[in-house]
Amino acid sequence: MKQRHPSVPVITVDGPSGSGKGTVCRLLARSVGWNLLDSGALYRLVGLAARNHGVDMDNHPALEVLAGHLDVQFQTGGDEGDLRIVLEGEDVTQSVRTEEVGALASRVAAVGAVRDALLARQRAFRVLPGLVADGRDMGTVVFPDAELKVFLTASAEERAARRYRQLIATGDAVSLPRLVSDIEARDRRDTERAVAPLRPAADAVELDTTGMGITEVFDHLMRFARERGLA
């Protein structure tokens, strides 16, 4: 039986879209050999399930039911140990990452009942030897007792440019000016919502990654982890 909280260490990495969290958390988890929680994927899956089932974004009770009964499997495998995401029997690894689904995720994420329904599922990732948790409220709400909390930021222009490169690489047709305005709209919704808004925890280490490459961001995080005896 795998051991759960409270003796399982957690590193939380929060920040806005495109701040580099996803990539750096994958690298960090792989490097220290810990589990990884991509909490944004859960909100994306609820958004995708809502679209597939024709559930309106204003139908909060139905969104809550979807979040509480997500039929999802995270399957590791492949050469790089990459994750496959299967929703209701369908491989959604690619479709869950699109901007369209990101915008749906941001809307379902503003619904308190959806957030509550996903809480236990997120905390269940806290198993030995440790967890790297990527999201918006990992340090403030989901794992308030984490050993290390990092808050990553970067200018909206730089975050849009990073997303642009990622989306183009996966064949998603997008325009850069459109991405900047989408990112600004998403930031507003994520920071101004009433429940679990995007903000650094009082005890978080803040790192502005504007102008940094991913290796530099990773090196900073490894240093923070080492300083706390976590790596």
**Subset of 37-56 contacting ligand DC (CB under 6 A):** 39-40, 43-44
Q: Element (H or E) spanning 167, and its range? A: helix 156-169
Cβ atoms of 121 and 205 within 8 Å: the answer is: no
Query: Looking at 13, 19, 49, 106, which residue binds ligand DC (CB under 6 A)?
Result: 106
Q: Say whether residue 190 binds ligand DC (CB under 6 A).
A: yes
Task: Tell the smallest beta-carbon distance from residue 105 to ligand DC (Å).
Answer: 4
Q: Tell me whether residue 39 or residue 209 sits nearer to ligand DC (CB atom).
A: 39
* Coil/strand/helix, residue 89: coil
Q: Candidates 79-87, 101-109, 143-151, 165-173 — which segment interacts with ligand DC by CB under 6 A?
A: 101-109
Q: Is 130 in the site for ligand DC (CB under 6 A)?
A: no
Q: Is the Cβ of residue 26 or residue 44 nearer to ligand DC in the bound state?
A: 44
Q: Contacts with ligand DC in 17-36 (CB under 6 A)?
A: 17
DSSP annotation of 97: G
In whole angstroms, give the CA distance from residue 85 to residue 59.
25
What is the helix (H) or strand (E) element at residue 83, kind and residue range?
strand 83-87
Q: Which of 122, 105, 134, 136 is nearest to 198 (CA)?
A: 136
At residue 208, the 3 state secondary structure works out as: strand
Residues in the site for ligand DC, rule: CB under 6 A?
Answer: 17, 39-40, 43-44, 102, 105-106, 109, 135-137, 186, 190
